[in-house]
Chain A
């Protein structure tokens, strides 16, 4: 049986000084090995929700917290943040907020050093990650002299250092060039499929994730409006049509005009190839 990786039960949170709750009674579960997209307009509570997963909320950010978050059965209220860091790797929106060391290699080693891992183990773990993420060329460079995409890669490597089962990413492709973004997303897909990492990612570029994401959670004003597999979400009335990614959106417009669904197919094409195949079969 597949284990439950993340269980979010009735979670609410209000930042100190804020007038309203950033999260309102959010409930959903993520099974181990799933790839979850988190969507929502900005300010809808995406980052806040993600920060609940590694205990930054409520341990670090002051405010009113209600409900429970369990990571592999352990409540985040009962674990401390270092303990959670071993389970949940976290990559922030802006790599500059995360980077603090003089070389890429040191940056990756940093979490391991913090946990007092023996030096030879640190070295072999860094070797492993550098090879896994193809970072040989930048290994000895300063993280401040590399490109944004490479910085984000460094941040992901550091997040993977402790070999967490869950990887949480907050709009990590936002200020990358489209090609670097595709590179990072492809890499995440690989980490998910090959290395069985459970991944939850807040992302505005939904288009580029549809061929590998399992489920989508849509937040609006702190409430979880829809959660489920992509087909169910895109057919749901709760999901705003103007937030639909390009290909499904185009297909649904065509469907409205000439009726495509239910004819020979009951699924919405998510990628260019799927749409072309659907149109070709008609």
Chain B
């Protein structure tokens, strides 16, 4: 469980707070997205999860442990972190060694380790990359390997910063489904992302950061449908929603939705209604 209680943080005493009285709670086995414009403090926020940054004021608890009092190594055994830029994370000679590094460090039993890695390799379909150097891979492949290398360690909480960066829709889908499976197994997953479509498709709860505060926290569909809120947080509304609002201009009974299938059905019924009227 992740708990923030009135957390304040700034990098420089002369500037404004980057985190300004942040309070929220994420339960075990929750799947949560954190969104907000570039530079709003999303990465600053998640760096508090494992004590990489410590609050100026307020309390951060992970599994009831106060991060200020615990060593980072202790937090590392609970929380897996995948950073935005895979180049800051990858270093091994080949992808296989990259994947083995984490579990070896944590002294995870070899059979467990190999099974976990095999499962990840199958899920992400990266078998053909195992013998290659991580630095020879394309940007998207590299990102995928850096995420997989974190998932090898079986931690209880996973924090992924921009995991869909450079991924095509197939890889996004594999990743989304895999993370959902982890949730079912009781793992908590927090994703920082700008990828509204990925969030809509897979992540049920969304927290919006804006000006150092939490501007919204709730069901993704509700949060991402709120145009005023999105505008204030400097985010762009999903394309489907734009479409729905435009369709409402020509038919005020048109029901908005951000589910593609629902929009499809709604358009069909709008067209058939129109046809009946013109007859």
Binding site for B on A (CB under 8 A): 15, 17-18, 40-43, 46-47, 93-94, 96-97, 146-150, 170-171, 174-182, 204, 207, 242-243, 246-247, 250, 253-254, 257-258, 272-273, 275-276, 279-280, 282
Q: Decide if B166 touches A171 in the complex (CB within 8 Å).
A: yes
Collect the chain B residues with CB atoms within 8 Å of residue A146's CB.
Answer: 39
Collect the chain B residues with CB atoms within 8 Å of residue A247's CB.
Answer: 239, 243
Collect the chain A residues with CB atoms within 8 Å of residue B243's CB.
Answer: 247, 250, 272, 275-276
Q: Which of B36, B84, B133, B264 contacts A253 (CB 8 A)?
A: B264
Pull 22 A–B residue pairs with CB atoms less than 8 Å apart, ordered by A: A15-B136, A18-B136, A40-B168, A42-B138, A43-B137, A43-B138, A47-B139, A148-B39, A149-B38, A174-B139, A175-B162, A176-B38, A177-B194, A177-B235, A178-B236, A181-B194, A204-B168, A247-B239, A272-B239, A276-B243, A276-B246, A282-B274
Q: Which residue of A lies closest to B137 (CB)?
A: A43
Given contacts A43-B140, A96-B85, A247-B243, contact A280 B250 (CB under 8 A): yes
What is the distance, in angstroms, from A153's C-beta to the closest C-beta of chain B?
A: 11
Q: Decide if A175 touches B194 in the complex (CB within 8 Å).
A: yes
Q: Decide if A42 touches B236 in the complex (CB within 8 Å).
A: no
Q: Which residue of A lies closest to B126 (CB)?
A: A43
Cα(A268)–Cα(B229), bound, Å: 32
Collect the chain B residues with CB atoms within 8 Å of residue A282's CB.
Answer: 271, 274
Q: Which 9 A-B pairs have the closest CB atoms?
A: A42-B140, A147-B39, A178-B236, A147-B38, A41-B168, A43-B138, A177-B37, A276-B246, A148-B38
Cα(A149)–Cα(B38), bound, Å: 7
Cα(A175)–Cα(B139), bound, Å: 12
Binding site for A on B (CB under 8 A): 36-39, 84-85, 87, 132-133, 136-141, 144, 162, 165-171, 194, 196, 234-236, 239-240, 242-243, 246-247, 249-250, 260, 263-264, 267-268, 270-271, 274
Q: Decide if A254 touches B268 in the complex (CB within 8 Å).
A: yes
Given contacts A42-B141, A171-B139, A272-B246, contact A180 B37 (CB under 8 A): yes
Cα(A268)–Cα(B270), bound, Å: 19
Cα(A94)–Cα(B141), bound, Å: 15
Cα(A17)–Cα(B246), bound, Å: 52
Collect the chain A residues with CB atoms within 8 Å of residue B171's CB.
Answer: 41-42
Q: Which residue of A lies closest to B142 (CB)?
A: A42
Cα(A107)–Cα(B264), bound, Å: 48
Given contacts A175-B84, A250-B260, contact A41 B170 (CB under 8 A): yes
Collect the chain B residues with CB atoms within 8 Å of residue A97's CB.
Answer: 87
Cα(A148)–Cα(B165), bound, Å: 13
What is the distance, in angstroms, from A201's C-beta to the closest C-beta of chain B?
A: 14
What is the distance, in angstroms, from A114's C-beta to the closest C-beta of chain B?
A: 24
Cα(A153)–Cα(B139), bound, Å: 20
Q: Which of B162, B165, B169, B247 contacts A279 (CB 8 A)?
A: B247
Collect the chain A residues with CB atoms within 8 Å of residue B140's CB.
Answer: 41-43
Cα(A93)–Cα(B143), bound, Å: 12
Collect the chain B residues with CB atoms within 8 Å of residue A47's CB.
Answer: 138-139
Q: Decide if B141 touches A242 in the complex (CB within 8 Å).
A: no
Cα(A179)–Cα(B196), bound, Å: 11
Q: Decide if B169 touches A179 in the complex (CB within 8 Å).
A: no
What is the distance, in angstroms, from B162's C-beta to the closest C-beta of chain A?
A: 5
Collect the chain A residues with CB atoms within 8 Å of residue B236's CB.
Answer: 178-179, 181-182
Cα(A215)–Cα(B139), bound, Å: 24
Q: Which residue of A lies closest to B128 (CB)?
A: A19
What is the distance, in angstroms, from A52's C-beta to the closest C-beta of chain B?
A: 15
Cα(A213)–Cα(B41), bound, Å: 33
Cα(A174)–Cα(B84), bound, Å: 11
Q: Decide if A257 touches B268 in the complex (CB within 8 Å).
A: yes
What is the distance, in angstroms, from B186's C-beta to the closest C-beta of chain A?
A: 30
Collect the chain A residues with CB atoms within 8 Å of residue B39's CB.
Answer: 146-148
Collect the chain B residues with CB atoms within 8 Å of residue A250's CB.
Answer: 243, 260, 263-264, 267
